[in-house]
Amino acid sequence: MHDGALRIRVAAPPVEGEANEALVRFLAKRLRVATSRITLASGASGRTKVVEVEGVAVDDVARALQS
């Protein structure tokens, strides 16, 4: 957590959506959901993103990503 937001770093370069795809794959693996259930609600071309995960509670997301 950093300033009230979750900070995740990915190794993929921010070229042609590769970093966004890496972020979605990372989240899907950690949350044990299909990548199709994760969408970038905003920030697809910026550093700050808002991610929506279908069918997973916010508390469950926080727990899964903090471990």
Whether residue 62 is predicted with pLDDT greater than 80 in this model: the reply is yes
The number of angstroms, rounded, from the C-alpha of 31 to the middle of its chain's C-alpha atoms is: 10
Contacts of 42 (CB under 8 A, 6+ apart): 49, 50
- How far from 13 is each of 9, 28, 31, CA to CA, in Å? 11, 19, 23
Of all residues in the chain, the percent with pLDDT exceeding 70 is 99
Residue 29 lies in a domain: yes
Residue 35 lies in a domain: yes
Domain of residue 32: give its range. 18-66
Whether residue 7 is predicted with pLDDT greater than 80 in this model: the reply is yes
Whether residue 2 is predicted with pLDDT greater than 90 in this model: the reply is no
Residue 7 lies in a domain: no
pLDDT band at 25 (very low <50, low <70, confident <90, very high): very high
- Our count of domains for the chain comes to 1
Whether residue 30 is predicted with pLDDT greater than 90 in this model: the reply is yes
Of all residues in the chain, the percent with pLDDT exceeding 90 is 64
3-state helix, strand, coil in the chain (%, to 5): 40, 15, 45
Residue 2 lies in a domain: no
